[in-house]
Chain A
């Protein structure tokens, strides 16, 4: 009865073939019994659910940022399951200009005390030290493409010495490259501003970004003798 009633909500739940072993000829009593059984099945099955089961997928805390300027820390290279870690090291970039060439407009190459040469993505030797400073990282978010994350440098007005003398930060500039690299750098060449916040690169979402910076001192003035220092703070800001 149920099998022949396509409008019955329970029809889809009941096998259509007749029960095996049932004689071809049925008595009216058997037919009545079958009807009663079918009615009981309707009562049982009509309350059942044949809806799909639902599991809700929740993106859980997926926003992640990582920025490394100079040395950084990973538990291992990414391709071997590495995870990023915190590293509080502050690296320096410096140059010592001899009096013989001071202010002669020949740019002086700067060197770093950073030992970071390899990309934590795959261990590839991407930068060369002490001439280059590694900068890299990523920004991860779910959903469609978003605006890029910005990396900014907060630059003091100048480098200062113990005597209170100052040297403009704009006398330091950098080029950008990487071993075996081609195409545009995520952290391109630039020159420091004299105090302020400047954008030094950007990261498309969900990609690994890295460059190697080579700094130079313009050496186009003659400051007083001394050691001039300044600290630049790099910040990654995700939208």
Chain B
């Protein structure tokens, strides 16, 4: 009996290790109900005048987006939802946003994500209006660029 228990232990140990080593899956959430309240983001000079010598010279623009995330599958459960801004052309992009309270305000640079919701899911959709400010180095943006972001959660 002792030998059989030991065998079970050694069999179980690798399974536990494998299970713990498996990375958490990241799910991109369905936000197909999200709508921009303006057709585009007009990027203007952050300051009226350039720096004395060449350096970072930023364009900034704001836009309001009505976010609607489908969280129906997680109803009556807790969830941690992130806003992700992938690294993408034209280069480093900074974003900050304010909310109306359902989601968390925050800021991030492209290539990162930040928590915007943590708590119980009590309705089928998470809805909020976010006012974004994007900023990007003027040298990178000589024409219009689409900037993609999404909401995700770790399973």
Contact = CB atoms under 8 A, between A and B. Distances in A.
A51 B139 CA distance: 29
A15 B77 contact: yes
A182 to B, nearest CB: 13
Contacts of B136: 57
Nearest to B48: A83
Interface string B73-112: 1100100000000100000010000000000000000000
Given A15-B77, A62-B59, A142-B139, A55 B48 contact: no
A49 B30 contact: yes
A157 interface: no
A81 B39 CA distance: 29
A58 B143 CA distance: 7
B144 interface: yes
Interface residues of B, number: 53
Indicate the member of A15, A57, A60 with the most B CB atoms within 10 Å: A57
A120 B36 CA distance: 39
B116 interface: no
A62 B144 contact: no
Interface in A44-98: 44-45, 48-62, 64, 66, 78, 81-84
B50 A58 contact: no
Interface in B31-65: 31-32, 34, 36, 39-45, 47-54, 57, 59, 61, 63, 65
Given A16-B155, A145-B139, A206-B139, A50 B30 contact: yes
Interface string A90-125: 000000000000000000000000000000111000
B75 to A, nearest CB: 10
B59 A50 contact: no
Interface string A1-45: 000000000001111100000000000000000000000010011
Nearest to B56: A206
Nearest to B30: A48
B27 interface: yes
A56 B43 CA distance: 10
A140 interface: yes
A55 B41 contact: yes
Interface stretch (B2-10, B13-21, B146-154): B146-154
Given A57-B134, A207-B53, A143 B141 contact: yes
B51 A207 contact: yes
B26 to A, nearest CB: 9
Contacts of B143: 59, 143
Contact of A208 (B27, B51, B73, B149): B51
A205 B73 CA distance: 53
Given A52-B150, A143-B138, A206-B51, 18 more contacts: A14-B73, A55-B36, A55-B146, A55-B147, A56-B39, A56-B146, A57-B146, A59-B59, A59-B142, A62-B44, A78-B47, A138-B50, A143-B142, A143-B143, A144-B142, A206-B138, A207-B51, A208-B49
Interface of A: 12-16, 41, 44-45, 48-62, 64, 66, 78, 81-84, 120-122, 138, 140-145, 204, 206-208
9 contacts: A16-B155, A49-B32, A51-B32, A56-B40, A56-B147, A59-B141, A81-B47, A140-B45, A141-B138
